[in-house]
Amino acid sequence: MKKKIALTDEFWMARALDLARRGVGLAHPNPIVGAVIVKSGRVVGEGFHVYERRDHAEIVALRQAGKRAKGATLYVTLEPCCHTGRTGPCTRAVVAAGISRVVGAMRDRHSVVAGQGFQHLRRAGVAVTIGVGESEAQTLNESFSRWIVSKRPFVTLKTALTLDGQISLRASSATWITSPASRKEVQRMRHVADALLTGIGTVLADDPRLNDRSGLPRRRRLLRVVLDSRLRLPLRSELVRSAENDLLVFTGESPASKKARALIRAGVEVVRLRTRRGRIDLRDVIRELGRREILSVMVEAGAELNGAMLEAGLVDKMVLFYAPKIMGGSGVPMARIPSRFFAKSPLLTNLKLRACGPDFVLQGYFHPPAPGRDSREKN
C-alpha cells in the first residue's frame, strides 16, 4: 500500500523550488524563480524563469493554467514583481487571473519591489503567506540578493585540502587531492557561478582550463578571470588558447604594451587596475566585476590569493572539500595570511557538513544571506 503524501504548502513550495533550479545558468542577471499553481489539490500550471524567454515564472504558470487559475493558489519562490521592466507587473497578472492565495518563499530585495509586491496583492484581496521554503529560496538567490542591493558580486572561496589543511605537495596542485565525486561537484558549482577567479601563480603552476565542464546549459559562458599584475600569462597557456570572449585579465601593466596587445589579439580582454605594493587592488576587482553584472564569483586559487581575499574581507562563503588524508609538513597551506589576522578573523557561520564520495564538504558563511523579515507571515 502506497503511503499517502500530505499536500501541504511545504510540499508545493518544494516543487516550485525544484522548478526554479532548472533556471540556474539561464536566468542571469535576473533571479532564479519557480512557480506552481494548485487548485483542488492538483497542479494546473507551473513554470520557471529563463531570461531569453522574458516571461517571469508566474506568467509562464498563469498561461499554462488559463481559466483554471481562478480561485487557485500560487506558490512562488520569490515575491512577484509590481513594476514594469522588460515585462509588465506580475502582481497585476496574478490579480487579473483570479488567484485567491499566494504563498511566497521570500521577499525580493530589489528596491523597486522589497515587499511592495505582496502589499499590492493584499490590497487586491489576495491572501498572502510568506516564508514557506524561505531558507532554500534565499540560498538559490543569494548572489542576486547581494548584487541587487550592493552592486557587488557574491564571492565563494572553494578549495580542496587534506585533513591537515594542505592544498598541494608543492607550489603545483597538479596532483588531485579529492575524489572524482568531489571534482564533479566542483563542476556543478562552476555552472552556478558567473565568474571564476584565480591568480597568475595558479595558472603558471598548473596551466588549467578553468571552464564549466558540467555539461549543463547556460545563458552565457563562464567568465574566467586572472589576476596578473605583471602580465606573465603565457600566450600558449590553455586559458589563452581556449579564449572565446570569456577570459579577462586584470593587470597593473598598460593595455598598450606589446604583451597586452598580443593577448588582446588572441581574444583576451586586458584591463588595467591600480596596484598596491605590486598587487592588484582586490576591492577594485570586485567592483569592476559587479559593474559588469557579474552576480557570483567563485575563487579557485592558491595560498596567496586565498589569503589576500580573506584578509580583505571579500569572501562571503567558503566551501571546503576535505580528503580523508594527511599530507604532512611538505604541503602548501590553504591560505598564506599574516598571523595578526587571527585576532580579528570573523567566524564562519551557518555551517553545513556533508559527505561527497569518500570526502566530506564543509560549507559556511562569513556574510550569510539576510534573514527574511516576514517568516511565516500571513494575512
Q: In 10 A of CB 364, how many CB atoms?
A: 16
Report d(CA 61, CA 82) in Å as an integer.
Answer: 17
Cα(300)–Cα(315) distance, rounded to whole angstroms? 12
Element (H, E) at 313: none
Helix (H) or strand (E) holding 277: none
The set of cell numbers assigned to 27 is 536566468
- Could you say which of 58, 134, 185, 300 is catalytic? 58
Q: Indicate if 244 belongs to the active site.
A: no
Provide the Cα torsion 129, 135, 140, 142; round to 10°: 110
Q: Which long-range contacts (CB under 8 A, 24 or more apart) does 64-69 make?
A: 64/37, 65/37, 65/39, 65/97, 68/37, 68/39, 68/44, 69/37, 69/39, 69/44, 69/45, 69/97, 69/98, 69/99
Interatomic CA distance for residues 367 and 138, integer angstroms = 13
Query: CA quadruple 34, 35, 40, 43: dihedral positive or negative?
Result: negative
Please identify every residue annotated as catalytic: 58
